[in-house]
Structure 1
Amino acid sequence: MRIVFTGYYNGFNVEVRSVEEIALLYHMGCFGKGSASRSQPKAAQNDVTPRIMRKRQFLKRNYWFKKFGGFKGTAEADNFMKDVEGLTAKIIGDGEKRTQKDVIDLVSSDEDDGAETNSTHSSERFQNHDKEDIVVIVPNSESEEENYFANMKPKCCLNKVKIQEKLMLTPQEAFFLLYGLGCLQIVSLDNTLLNIEKCWDIFTTADSKFVNKYVVYHYYRSKGYVVKPGIKFGGDYCKGF
C-alpha cells in the first residue's frame, strides 16, 4: 500500500499542512522545511515542552487575536487575562516608556491575596486545555540585569494565537515526489488536482531555471543525497546555468 501525501501549491512552492504527513515526509526523507523553523518543522519534533515567550510578544499576539481573529469571547477564555482593555491599550502604546509596559498582569496580580486560589482554578482550566498551546510567559528583558533571573516569576497562559506550521516543499522536491516517487498529489490555486504535465508547465512558467534545478536535484537525490539549495550559504547549485 502506497502512502499518498497532499500538497497545496501557493504560487511559490508547495505546502503540506497535515501534521502526520509533515512528520512522515521530514523523518523518512528530509523533504521540505518548516515555515516557522530554520530547518526541521516543529510539528515533526517530539518535544512537548511548553514554549517560552516574552510578555510583550504574548500581549501583542492577544491584541492581534482580538482585532483580527473574530474571537467570540467566553468567560472561561477571558479568565486568562485580568483586564483585556488595559492590555490592548498598552499594546497600542507599545512605544511608550518601559515602566508603563511592566504594570500589566497576565493572569492575576502578584500581590493578590487570592493568588493561591486563582492558581488552583488556573491549573484546572489548563487540564481542560491539554491539547491547546500552553506557553510560559517571562518578564521583558530590556537590559542585562543581574537580578533578572532572581526576580523572574514565570506564568503559564493559553496562547490563543496558535500559528500552524507547514512543511514547505521547493518545486523541485514537490515534482520529485510527484513524478519520481509518485507519493504526492498537488492541489492548484483553484483547488484542482494537478497531473504531471500541468505541474511541469506551472513550475517552468513560474521559474525559468526550474528545468536546470530539477535535473540537478533529481540526479543527486536518486543517488541518495539530501539535496538542499545552497543560496543560504552563498552557493546555490543552479549558479552558472
Structure 2
Amino acid sequence: MTLWRRGFFGKGDLSRSEPSWLTRQINIRENKGKHLTAEEIREKRRAERKQFKLDRAKAIAAVAAEAEAIFAAEGRVITPALSGPAIPSAATWKPTPPSVAETSVEPSIIPNDDDQNGEQDTTEEPPLEDVEHLQLTLQEAFFLTWALDCLIVQDPETLEPLTLQQVWNAFQNAHIPIHIPKSPSQQARHFDNPFLINYVVYHHYRSLGWVIKGGIKFCVDYLLYKRGPVFSHAEFAIVVCPVYEDPEEQANSSFALQNASPFEWSWLSTINRVNSQVQKTLVLTYVTIPSAKRVSPEVLSSPACLAHYSVREVVLRRFIPARMRD
C-alpha cells in the first residue's frame, strides 16, 4: 500500500488497479456503504447510469403511448416531447434509494436443541485474511530499485537479494527469445531489447513527474496521469515507436519490435479516434535506438547506457470540422 499511495506503482492482483480486495470483502460482509473503494464507486456510477437510461426510456415510452391514446380518442396529433418535467435528465435525475428490505441483512441463526432455555447462537464468520499481492512490471520494479532505491529484488530460489547488476541482466534476459544464447559473457547485449525501449519511456515520464500506467485498455502502451488514477482520468495516451539509428540493425534484429516499421494510416486513425472519444490526447513517443557501430555494446552492462537513447514526442489531435471552427 505504501508503493501504491506514494506513487501509484503496480496493481493489485485481485483488483483492477488499487489493491482494494480486502476493503471490498469487508464492505460486502458488513454491508456498509461508507469508505467505498475506487472500484466500488465506479460500479456504483455504472449502475446509476444504467438505471437512468432505463428510467428515461420508460418515461419517453409513456409519453409516446399517451400521444397515441390522444390521437386514437380525439384525432389530435401530439409530438412526444423528449424533454420536460416528465422526462428525467442527467442534471435532475437522482437514483432511488434502496428499500429497507434490500439493505437489511439478518444474522444467520442456528438453533441449539440442547439448550434448555431456548437460547439461539449466532454463527461467527472467520476473520478475513488479506491474500492480495501487488504486481509490478519490470519497468516499475527497476525504477524502484535503481532510481528510488526503495525495493529489493530477491532470487526466487535462494531468496538472496540480487545486486543491481544481476537485476539489470535478469530483466533484459526476460525478453530475449529462447533461441538466443544467454551465456554470462553474452547477457542481453542488444540495444533494441524491449525492456530497454520501454524503460527509457517509463523513466522519461516518471522523471518529469507523471504517473505512468499501462494503456492496453485504450490500445496504447501507456497512460499519463497528472496526479494518479484515483484523482482524475489520464490526459495523454502514449504509443511507443522505436526508431533504429542504423536500418541494417533493424533488418538483422532478433526482436520484432511493435511499431518499429511504418504503420498504416487507418490504424493510426483508429487509435486516435478511440482516445479522442475518451478525451485523451494521443502522443507518439519515438525512441531512437543507438547503433552498435557508433556505441559499443559493452555499455549495455550497466544502466549508464540509457544516456545514449533519445526520446521525441509528436502530439496528434483529431480534427473535427464542426467543432473546431473557432
TM score, norm. by length of structure 2 = 0.35
TM score, norm. by length of structure 1 = 0.46
Higher relative contact order (CA 8 A, sep 6+): 1
Q: Select the structure of larger CA radius of gyration.
A: 2
